[in-house]
Amino acid sequence: MKILVAGATGSIGLHVMKTAIEMGHQPRALIRNQRKVKLLPHGTDIFYGDVSQPETLTDVAENIDAVIFTLGSDGQGRIGARAIDYGGVRNVLQRFRGTQARIVLMTTIGVTERLGSWNQQTEVHDWKRRAERLVRASGHPYTIVRPGWFDYNHNDQHHIVMLQGDRRHAGTPEDGVISRAQIARVLVSALTSDAAINKTFELVAEHGEEQNNLTPLFATLLADDPRKNEGILDLHNMPLEEEPGYIIDELNLFLKPAASI
């Protein structure tokens, strides 16, 4: 597959680029900073654009079969969360309207936790959750992955576990841990597994060996209910009807057929 990686020079994105190549895909890095090209595998296909500036993304969907989002606002507070974690996903998805590209979105474990100090200060969870809703509304076959804490796993902690309902809200590695390399493997593998389509799950690693085949893990998960714009077992603590008007308008825009716009 020809895969656009949004967030390709980040700590997960670099692993995704490497993993995608190893699995025989053709990744294209979406980057805005030319100085970061040196971080990418030699010969990487590159698209220069800024996810927060939609006018730079005009041709981003050309000859692309799938998108993996690993972008993040990296501590930029509420403005960054809105512009990148949500706005970046919105702007890229808009360029893929009318296509059948597969979408994989990485958010975070605990994304439905709203009352903790981190979300109260930054609204990162809320904006990531709104991005999830855009992906579900887009009509694309999708997978939404909510990984635990990156690389906090021990050397014998590689057994992949997929959870649903997002009930781990400690805001610490107690919620679950997993290596960056394993996150990348799951993100890329989800693109070619029918068992992963339209599913939302948390991703952690427990003590034991890593599984060779991820399809049985994807297959045990419940698909999201298309009548609701939430992860299948998520808490109902962010009602759509209580969202700001412009957020509802943008969501409804994705629910309309592309030809009607």
Q: What percent of the chain has pLDDT over 90?
A: 92
Predicted local distance difference test score (pLDDT) of residue 258: 63
Nearest to 104 by CA among 73, 70, 60, 129: 70
Confidence band (pLDDT; 50, 70, 90) for 169?
very high
Q: What is the pTM of this model?
A: 0.96
Domains delineated in the chain: 2-260 (3.40.50.720)
Confidence band (pLDDT; 50, 70, 90) for 162?
very high
Cα–Cα distances (Å) from 147 to 34, 151, 200, in that order, read 28, 11, 11
Predicted local distance difference test score (pLDDT) of residue 256: 74
Predicted local distance difference test score (pLDDT) of residue 259: 46
Count of other CB atoms within 10 angstroms of residue 88: 26
Confidence band (pLDDT; 50, 70, 90) for 261?
very low
SS3 assignment, position 27: strand
Phi/psi at 217 (nearest 5 deg)? -70, -45
pLDDT over 90 at 172, yes or no:
yes
Mean pLDDT for the stretch of residues 225-240: 95
SS3 assignment, position 163: strand
What mean pLDDT value characterizes the chain?
95
* Eight-class DSSP state of 164: -
Mean pLDDT for the stretch of residues 158-176: 97
pLDDT over 70 at 119, yes or no:
yes
Structure tokens at 125: 């969870």
pLDDT over 90 at 19, yes or no:
yes
* Eight-class DSSP state of 111: T
Over the stretch 143-157, which tens digit does the pLDDT of each residue have?
999 999 999 999 999
Confidence band (pLDDT; 50, 70, 90) for 191?
very high
Residues 60, 66: Cα–Cα separation, whole Å: 11
CA angle 51, 57, 61 (to 5 degrees): 110
* 143 residue type, one letter: T
